[in-house]
């Protein structure tokens, strides 16, 4: 199994770092994130053996286009800072011998903004055919052309992170912006974006939140879902047990090593083996994922890596993966996949290990 890390948005400058500010180009100091990226990739590849990083680009669209009269208007032309940043980050990944999954939009781009929930009110991209065509032709196609010389670096182009939150009826406005589009409109957008990515010769993917979303929406050529076995944003538990790779044929785009919070509840199938410290929990969860047959799993960060506190740009931007979680990754590589004596994995897991 290959491992990777979600490296969502440097300095937590969500919706601003890519393109260097809001408006684009207005905060040149944000360009320093590429120097931090180079340093951090060296740690991920050299010490932790990670091969893939997933990175959010436009996020909620805060510095992309504008809102006018209650409608979203895409920019008249794409600011050159976006393409410059994209090419620069791809060059860094090539130099470090790693691959990237660039994610064009986060679901918050299409959520309704309300009481500082971070949503971008850009749902016209999903609902209005003219706006959608401009965004795909002016922005996504431009990014694909710019990244063409780096096809060896791009693991897959991702259209949206967790788009199900834009259609689920019970999602509260305070976190995801509530439902803003229909399943049909969302599916059409995803299908058009995936087709564009495929036409440019890249692998395509969508960062689906639940395994069940793989059967509800377009997935791209590389199927992907995220695993957090707990109620999420007011929803009932959907993925309580991790399905096998044979059942999903997907990559695991997000998994948590946290112990608390919405993303940190114990995994029922581990029967308490992930209730200990972060190091042991990280190893137990990674081994369980490997036993399920997955070929790639990407950790969601759990905290700073011990090199000091995060600072405002252009200061240090440490990897947001704790030292304990990093030690758990190293233990995973040392201990391998097969269960220790006394660990009671289910028969499905034992069969999968035997087949490999």
For 325-334, the pLDDT digits (tens) are 999 999 999 9
- Bigger pLDDT: 74 vs 354: 74
Q: Which CATH class is domain 2-355?
A: alpha beta
* Of the listed ranges 97-111, 195-209, 233-247, the one predicted with least confidence: 233-247
pLDDT band for position 231 (cuts 50, 70, 90): low
pTM, two decimal places: 0.93
- 12 vs 181, which has greater pLDDT? 181
| pLDDT score for 355 | 32
Give domain limits for the chain.
2-355
List b or e across 33-62, with b for residues whose CB sees 16 or more CB atoms inside 10 angstroms: bbebbbbbbebbbeebebebbbbbbbbbbb
* Residue 281 confidence (pLDDT): 95
Q: Dump pLDDT digits (tens) for 32-51.
A: 999 999 999 999 999 999 99
- Hey, is 282 helix, strand or coil? helix
- Beta bridge partner(s), residue 296: 2
What DSSP assignment string belongs to 180-229?
-S-HHHHHHHHHHHHHHHHHTT--EEEEBSSGGGGGTS---SSEEEEE--
Q: Under a CB-based contact definition with an 8 Å cutoff, are residues 306 and 323 in contact?
A: yes
Confidence of residue 306 (pLDDT cuts 50, 70, 90): confident
Comparing CA positions, the residue from 253, 268, 256 lying closest to residue 228 is 256
| CB hemisphere CA count around 69 (13 angstroms) | 1
> Taking all residues of the chain, what is their mean pLDDT, rounded to a whole number?
90
pLDDT value of position 174: 75
130 burial via Cβ count (<10 Å: 0-12, 13-18, 19+): exposed
Contacts 24+ apart (CB under 8 A), 83-90: 83/142, 83/143, 83/146, 85/18, 85/19, 85/20, 85/31, 85/34, 86/18, 86/57, 86/143, 86/146, 86/147, 87/146, 87/147, 87/150, 88/34, 89/34, 89/37, 89/55, 90/147, 90/150, 90/153, 90/154
pLDDT confidence of residue 353: 32
Q: What is the pLDDT of residues 157-181, one digit of tens each?
A: 999 999 999 998 877 677 789 999 9
Report the pLDDT value the prediction gives residue 18, as an integer from 0 to 100.
Answer: 97
Return the bridge partners of 67, or none: 72
| 59-77 residue pLDDT tens | 999 999 999 998 999 999 9
Q: What does residue 109 show for φ and ψ, rounded to 5 degrees?
A: -60, -30
Task: Indicate if the pLDDT at residue 341 is higher than 80.
Answer: no
Tokens in use for 352?
């999968």
pLDDT of residue 298: 98
């Amino acid at each position: 199994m290959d491992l990777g890390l979600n490296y969502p948005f440097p300095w937590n400058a969500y919706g601003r770092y890519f393109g260097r500010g809001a408006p684009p180009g207005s905060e040149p100091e944000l360009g320093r994130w590429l120097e931090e990226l180079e340093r951090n990739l060296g740690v991920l590849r050299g010490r932790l053996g990670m091969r893939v990083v997933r990175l959010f680009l436009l996020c909620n669209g805060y510095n992309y286009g504008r809102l006018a009269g209650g409608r979203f208007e895409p920019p008249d032309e794409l600011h050159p800072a976006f393409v410059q940043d994209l090419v620069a980050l791809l060059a860094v990944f090539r130099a470090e011998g790693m691959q990237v999954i660039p994610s064009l939009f986060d679901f918050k781009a299409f959520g309704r903004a309300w009481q500082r929930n971070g949503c971008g009110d850009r749902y016209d991209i999903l609902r209005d055919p003219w706006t959608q065509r401009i965004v795909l032709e002016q922005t996504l196609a431009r990014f694909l052309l710019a990244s063409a010389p780096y096809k060896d670096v791009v693991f897959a182009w991702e259209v949206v992170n967790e788009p199900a939150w834009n259609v689920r009826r019970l999602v509260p406005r305070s976190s995801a912006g509530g439902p803003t589009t229909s399943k049909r409109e969302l599916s059409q957008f995803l299908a058009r974006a995936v087709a564009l990515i495929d036409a440019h010769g890249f692998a395509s993917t969508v960062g689906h939140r639940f395994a069940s979303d793989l059967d509800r929406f377009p997935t791209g050529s590389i199927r992907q879902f995220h695993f957090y076995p707990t109620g999420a944003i007011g929803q009932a538990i959907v993925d309580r047990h991790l399905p096998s790779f044979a059942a999903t044929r997907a990559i695991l785009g997000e998994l948590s090593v946290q112990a608390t919070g919405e993303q940190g509840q114990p995994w029922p199938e581990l029967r308490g083996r992930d209730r200990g410290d972060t190091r042991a929990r990280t190893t137990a969860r990674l081994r369980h994922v490997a036993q399920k047959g997955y070929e790639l799993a990407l950790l969601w960060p759990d905290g700073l890596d011990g090199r000091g506190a995060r600072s405002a740009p252009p200061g240090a931007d440490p990897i947001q993966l704790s030292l304990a979680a990093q030690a758990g990754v190293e233990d995973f590589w040392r201990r391998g996949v097969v269960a220790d004596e006394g660990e009671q994995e289910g028969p499905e897991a034992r069969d999968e290990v035997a087949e490999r």
